Amino acid sequence: MSEIIENTEAVNEQVTPPVEKTFTQKDLDSIIDKRLARERKEAETRIREAVTEAQKLAKMSADERLEHERVEREKQLKDREGEITRRELKAEAKAQLADKGLPVEFADALPLTDAESVQTAIEVFDKAFRVAVEKGVNERLKGQPPKVSQAEKAMSEKDRLVAEYNAAEKRKDFAAVLSIQNKIKKLKE
């Protein structure tokens, strides 16, 4: 009985729950201070950029300001258009991948610049994926060839006829015995 108690105590000592990390107020203050410092730095950078932009605009004439704003709007429109194009190409790529039976997750790895490059990349993925799958299947199917016992090894024609003759004699199939005897005689000739 005392052995069981000792073993139970030993098991209880081994199974200890994971210790959760606790933070002191000093640790929390340090974490918060680091986060606030990072946020302040980012805010200061945004403010500096806005001030620089405002100073540029203040120095410009009305025509220059209008031209600058037009260029900025064109840039924003171009960025939006590029993003929309990328989304459309990605949706089309997913559809093409699904049609070919390929994983649609491949769309994330495709160059989403234009339809032609997407199509070319899908064809390359298709070939490479099929080769990889075939290689994997062949690798899994590869194994030791079945072992052939001595009795199953290829026999000569004469040995095969002798085996058939003995089997026919056991069955008392006299027609087969005579037929096989004739075949054996022909082989000897």
The answer, yes or no, to whether residue 3 has pLDDT greater than 70, is: no
pLDDT, average across residues 145-167: 71
Which residues have CB under 8 Å from 181's CB, separation 6+? 165
pLDDT band at 43 (very low <50, low <70, confident <90, very high): very high
More confident residue, 148 or 135: 135
pLDDT band at 89 (very low <50, low <70, confident <90, very high): confident
Which residues have CB under 8 Å from 96's CB, separation 6+? 118, 119, 122
For residues 160 and 66, what is the distance between their CA atoms, to the nearest angstrom? Answer: 101
Provide the whole-model pTM.
0.43
For residues 153 and 83, what is the distance between their CA atoms, to the nearest angstrom? Answer: 69
Q: Are 176 and 168 in contact (CB under 8 A)?
A: yes
Choice among 5-14, 27-36, 128-137, 139-148 with the minimum mean pLDDT: 5-14
The pLDDT value recorded for residue 12 is 53
pLDDT band at 47 (very low <50, low <70, confident <90, very high): very high
More confident residue, 29 or 183: 29
Q: Are 128 and 122 in contact (CB under 8 A)?
A: no
pLDDT band at 73 (very low <50, low <70, confident <90, very high): very high
Choice among 3-12, 43-52, 106-115, 159-168 with the minimum mean pLDDT: 3-12
The answer, yes or no, to whether residue 135 has pLDDT greater than 60, is: yes
The pLDDT value recorded for residue 56 is 80
Q: From the centroid of its chain, how far is CA 114?
A: 25
pLDDT band at 80 (very low <50, low <70, confident <90, very high): very high
DSSP-derived secondary structure for 105-120 = GGGGGS--S-HHHHHH
The answer, yes or no, to whether residue 183 has pLDDT greater than 90, is: no
The pLDDT value recorded for residue 6 is 56
